[in-house]
Amino acid sequence: MPHGPFLLFTRFLTILILTIALAAGPTMAATAKILYTFQGRDDGGRPWATLLLDEKTGTLYGTTEVGGVKLCGNDFDFDCGTIFSLTPSPNGWTETVLYSFQGGNDGVNPRAPLVPRPDGYWYSTTASGGGVQQNGTVFRIQPGTWEEEVLFSFVDEDGYYPQGKIAFDSSGNLYGITTNGGSGYSGVAYELIPNPSGSWTENVLYGNVGLPYAGVVIDPLGNVYGTSDANGIYNEGNVFELSPGKSGWQFTNIYSFQIACGIDCGGSQPGDLTLTKSGKLFGFAGDAGIPACGNDQGCGTIFEMINNGGTWQEKTLYQFQNIADGWGPGYGAPALDSAGNIYGMTGAGGQYGFGTVFKLSHGKSGWTKTTLYDFPGGAGGWQPYGGVVVDKHGNIFGATYYGGKTGGKTCKKQGCGVVFEIMP
């Protein structure tokens, strides 16, 4: 079962009490700045995904799951979501809504990051909406005109509820996974192939992924990698590979997570992967590792996958020690800087219990984790789901799902989220 906002909010209330008595790990003084606070109205609210950074202009782009100009009907309680930009200037940051989802065929509630393609468009998915069954869409948007075009609307056998990052191969074919649907009703790995007419054709690569809540990456040979929450030897999550061949696509489990409290905890909650030029995979697993958080749940791990002569080996780089050290790194992919340092966020834990921003540095004696920032809650934001982006100067940008302004139908007492910057 996914860790939706309500479940995570309930989990957070539990850990906030426990955090008080625990000692935190190493911390580093950093300056944090709130760049924008979502109001939950036309400007959007509840940003889930990792932001997209334009290094040339410093502009940030992202999506919000709710907010916008259209109130969604049927099964949707809030507005349909937005695509937004945050532009820096000497006078501060300006938020602009580039597109507001209408709640019809264009999709509802985007959760996945925006991904540029060489054709100049940015691509992503919506978790719901689109078509008759409202099972989610794959869409693209053209920078400049900001016109949205739906490429594909899911039906049950094609998968439904896509929320992870998509990827492209060298031919421009699009790859992704859905959380549900397919032959095993536990998610579909799919390929979308562009046609000369402008339409896109779906090819289901595998129909029983195992409740994946993240997305995929693809290597130069066309192999697709991702994670699931309920597959693997122990049915507690895995890292998988999909390889193209003459007889079709081959699904291979390359690592199985095993968590201390077993399958009753709901799986290991692995997120998006990062693929390096050397072919290594890096990732986070939110409920794996040391069982010191909640009801014997793991506090989370940072892991690396290395391919040695065709055999994949997992190496755990860090295990979060306790709630004060941070609990539950999110679904966003690890961010790596030019020195190979790893950055990410936890959705809970830390000094105040509202989540952390952390850095994992590699030295002669191994890997060292440092907490860069503890979210204070309230106006300072809390509970991020995505990852961070790091610019060439070492500044860190991200968003929290909750926090900021409270009140109104959408934000209520939790707030609609903030976008922040952490300066070294």
Per DSSP, the residues of 69-138 read S-B--TT--SB--EEEEEEEETTEEEEEEEEE--SSTT-B---SPPEE-TTS-EEEEESBBSTTTTB-EE
pTM above 0.85, yes or no: yes
Distance CA 168, CA 116 (A): 9
DSSP state of 27: B
DSSP state of 57: T
Distance CA 386, CA 26 (A): 23
Distance CA 382, CA 414 (A): 9
Predicted pLDDT at 6: 37
Predicted pLDDT at 79: 83
End-to-end CA separation in angstroms for the chain: 37
In single-letter form, the type of residue at position 306 comes to I
Give CA 401 to chain center in angstroms. Answer: 11
Q: Which CATH class is domain 5-423?
A: mainly beta
**Helical H runs in 260-377?**
none
CB contact at 8 A, 290 and 299: yes
How are strands ordered across the β-sheet holding 174-177?
A: 167-168, 174-177, 189-194, 200-206
CB contact at 8 A, 367 and 360: yes
pLDDT in tens for each of the 424 residues of the chain? Answer: 235 543 444 444 444 433 333 444 566 667 899 999 999 889 999 999 999 999 999 999 999 999 897 667 544 456 899 999 999 999 999 999 999 999 889 999 999 999 999 999 999 999 999 988 899 999 999 999 999 999 999 998 889 999 999 999 999 999 999 999 998 899 999 999 999 999 999 999 999 999 999 999 999 999 999 999 999 999 999 999 999 999 999 999 999 998 876 555 667 899 999 999 999 999 999 999 999 997 678 999 999 999 999 999 999 999 999 999 999 999 999 999 999 999 999 999 999 999 999 999 998 889 999 999 999 999 999 999 999 999 999 999 999 999 997 766 678 789 999 999 999 8
DSSP 231-275: -TTTTS-EEEEEEEETTEEEEEEEEE---TT-GGG----B---EE
Distance CA 420, CA 361 (A): 22
Predicted pLDDT at 260: 75
369: enclosing H helix or E strand: strand 366-374
Which SS3 state, helix, strand or coil, does residue 47 take? coil
Distance CA 372, CA 398 (A): 13
Distance CA 185, CA 230 (A): 12
In single-letter form, the type of residue at position 63 comes to T
Predicted pLDDT at 13: 44
- The phi-psi region of residue 209 (left if phi > 0; otherwise alpha if psi is between -120 and 50; otherwise beta) is alpha
* Nearest Cα to Cα of residue 346 among 365, 369, 317: 369
Predicted pLDDT at 264: 54
Say if residue 34 is exposed, middle or buried (CB neighbours under 10 Å; 0-12, 13-18, 19+).
middle
Matching residue, tokens 């689109």: 130
- The phi-psi region of residue 48 (left if phi > 0; otherwise alpha if psi is between -120 and 50; otherwise beta) is alpha
* Nearest Cα to Cα of residue 212 among 257, 149, 260, 249: 257
